[in-house]
Structure formats: structure tokens, C-alpha cells
């Protein structure tokens, strides 16, 4: 049974890493599930504190993943029109995966700024800020999944 759980955990970790880039897969939660599967073996026992801290990190990252493009737009000089457009674009983009998750926030911020009376250049800056926010979120998810893979491998090699 331990071998099955270790293989399933490794597959969850690899799928979680892929999920950092593929928006239809929840990357960090899958990687965390891989650590949980390893925890249920007789070979490795993580502490309750480790499991709870990792769970907290996963929850925070999943929540922030939807707001980081919004923050990117805001910090690139977006007005209320642009940030609201970015949020609406993000929600609409979820229906048009995988490209909608990138284009939705960009187009939402861009169109929102245009509707708010901004010039095209300012609207593009806001849209690009939302894309940069999305890319930052992707990098953070990859770092967390990479850390989980490292923890998995280190625990198995002990």
C-alpha cells in the first residue's frame, strides 16, 4: 500500500506543478495532496504543524491567484474602472480556458479604462499590469510546488 501512496503522491506533485501553468488544474492543492498521500505511508510522518502551515500557504495562494492580476492592474496606475474591468474580465475569462485566464484580466482592465475615459496608452498600461500580476502569481505557484516536491523527495530519502 505504501508504494501505491508514494506513486500516487508523486503523480499529484507532478500534476500540481503542471497546474501552475495550466489554469484548469489547481496546482498547489494537487501538490499538497501529494504530500498528504506521502504522510499516510508508514515511511514518512510530517508534523501536524508542517501540514497546517502548508495548508495555510495553499489556501492563501489559491485566494490570491484570483486577485493578483487585479493588484497588478492597480499598481500600474489603473483607475477604479480598470480594476473593476480586470475583476469582471477575470471572472468571464474562467469560461474560456486556457486563454481566457490570461486575456480576460488584460481585456477587462483595458476595456474598463477605455470606458472610464482613459487614453489607449494608459488603458494598455493597466492591461499589461494585470498580465504581469498573473505571471507573478504563476511564478509564486511554481515556487510553492517546487518546494513541496523538494519536501517530498527529502522525506523519502531520509
pLDDT in tens, 130-146: 778 888 888 999 999 99
Which of the residue ranges 66-75, 85-94, 143-152 has the most confident prediction, judged by mean pLDDT?
Answer: 143-152
- At 7-32, the pLDDT tens digits run 999 999 999 999 887 777 889 999 99
Domain boundaries, the chain: 2-157
Who's near 7: CB < 8 A, 6+ residues apart? none
Rounded mean pLDDT, 56-72: 85
pTM for this entry: 0.78
Q: Is the pLDDT of residue 69 over 80?
A: no
Residue 97 has pLDDT above 80, yes or no: no
Quickly list DSSP for the chain.
Answer: -HHHHHHHHHHHHHHHHHHTTSTTS-HHHHHHHHHHHHHTSSS----HHHHHHHHHHHHHHHHHHHHHHHHHHHHTT--HHHHHHHHHHHHHHGGGTTTHHHHHHHHHHHHHHHHTT--HHHHHHHHHHHHHHHHHHHHHHHHHHHHHHHHHHHHHH-
Residues 76-93: what's their mean pLDDT? 81
Q: Between these two residues, 60 and 120, which has the higher pLDDT value?
A: 60
Amino acid at each position: 500500500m505504501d508504494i501505491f501512496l508514494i506513486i500516487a503522491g508523486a503523480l499529484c506533485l507532478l500534476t500540481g506543478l503542471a497546474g501552475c501553468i495550466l489554469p484548469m488544474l489547481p496546482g498547489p492543492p494537487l501538490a499538497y495532496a501529494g504530500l498528504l498521500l506521502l504522510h499516510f505511508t508508514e515511511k514518512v510522518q510530517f508534523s501536524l504543524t508542517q501540514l497546517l502551515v502548508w495548508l495555510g500557504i495553499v489556501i492563501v495562494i489559491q485566494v490570491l491567484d484570483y486577485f493578483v492580476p487585479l493588484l497588478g492592474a492597480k499598481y500600474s496606475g489603473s483607475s477604479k474602472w480598470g480594476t473593476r474591468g480586470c475583476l469582471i474580465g477575470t471572472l468571464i475569462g474562467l469560461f474560456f480556458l486556457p486563454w481566457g485566464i490570461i486575456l480576460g484580466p488584460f481585456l477587462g482592465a483595458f476595456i474598463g479604462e477605455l470606458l472610464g475615459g482613459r487614453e489607449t496608452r494608459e488603458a494598455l498600461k493597466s492591461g499589461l499590469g494585470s498580465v504581469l500580476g498573473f505571471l507573478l502569481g504563476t511564478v509564486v505557484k511554481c515556487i510553492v510546488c517546487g518546494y513541496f516536491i523538494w519536501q517530498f523527495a527529502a522525506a523519502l530519502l531520509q
